[in-house]
């Protein structure tokens, strides 16, 4: 059995893209999955894929922005599964009006609440169980826009990912003594549906040269298999050939 076979893994934004690929990877390793997202139908589709390949777990339709709902859901999950070993904070979004001249206050709030506050809510809910275990891994799917301001990702998204990196480093600094590790996983351009909200149109050839969701799933696998004595605070994953700016 894989070293990940006994792990309980929570994945947010599990209904598509990176979250779906990460779920399929952990299912292949035999882990018990909790697929979290707002769109129940998409989660169910991923769950069916996971089960068809011999995976196991459950679906949880949840808006990570709603702290009280997150806390209640986490309590139920821990009661059922007894532990949480890995939390993958992948839920995220962007808007069309990204530059300051077009970015609205409502769009700013939506991006920050989902990308940053949502990640905090999930971490806050998982930490008590991880502290009790004296073990746990948190992977925050950030972005290279947290390191490189390209203008393509936009003001709100870039700010949210800078915040996510700061959150990740703070978790590592404060919770390492409890055996809890945290990584900010920073991909460059990834071939997901989020590209459809950009003003730039990429060709099929360009999208094929970008990072694929399955590539990031393998990066997550590496982090999950790393011995608990070692931590990767930040991981950069960029396309080898694509000139496309970071998402």
Q: Catalogue the active-site residues.
A: 157
**φ, ψ at 147 (rounded to 5°):** -115, -25
Across the beta sheet with 136-141, the strand order is: 56-61, 32-37, 8-12, 86-89, 136-141, 180-187, 234-237
Cα–Cα nearest to 127, from 60, 174, 90: 174
Cα–Cα nearest to 181, from 135, 220, 146, 142: 135
C-alpha to C-alpha distance for 143 and 34, rounded to whole angstroms: 23
Where b means 16+ CB within 10 Å and e means fewer, 146-178 reads: bbeeeebbbbbbbbbbbbbbebbeebbeebeee
Beta strand 32-37 pairing with 180-187: unpaired
Half-sphere exposure of 165 (CA within 13 A, CB side): 18
């Amino acid at each position: 059995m894989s070293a990940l076979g006994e792990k309980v893994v929570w994945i947010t934004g599990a209904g598509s893209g990176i979250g779906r690929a990460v779920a399929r990877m952990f299912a292949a390793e035999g882990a018990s999955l909790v697929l979290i997202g707002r769109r129940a139908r998409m989660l169910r589709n991923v769950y069916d894929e996971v089960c068809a390949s011999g995976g196991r777990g459950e679906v949880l339709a949840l808006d990570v922005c709603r702290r009280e709902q997150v806390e209640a859901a986490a309590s139920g999950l821990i009661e059922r599964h007894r532990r949480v070993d890995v939390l993958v904070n992948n839920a995220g979004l962007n808007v069309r009006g990204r530059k300051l001249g077009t970015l609205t206050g409502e769009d700013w709030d939506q991006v920050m609440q989902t990308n940053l506050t949502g990640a905090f809510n999930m971490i806050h809910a998982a930490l008590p169980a991880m502290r009790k275990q004296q073990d746990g891994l948190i992977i925050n799917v950030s972005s290279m826009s947290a390191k490189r301001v390209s203008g393509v990702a936009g003001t709100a998204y870039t700010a949210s990912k800078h915040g996510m990196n700061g959150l990740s480093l703070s978790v590592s600094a404060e919770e390492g003594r409890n055996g809890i590790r945290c990584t900010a996983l920073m991909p460059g351009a990834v071939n997901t549906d989020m590209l459809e909200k950009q003003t730039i149109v990429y060709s099929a050839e360009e999208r094929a040269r970008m990072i694929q969701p399955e590539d990031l799933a393998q990066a997550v696998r590496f982090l999950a298999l790393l011995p608990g004595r070692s931590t990767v605070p930040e991981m950069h994953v960029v396309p080898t050939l694509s000139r496309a700016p970071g998402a």
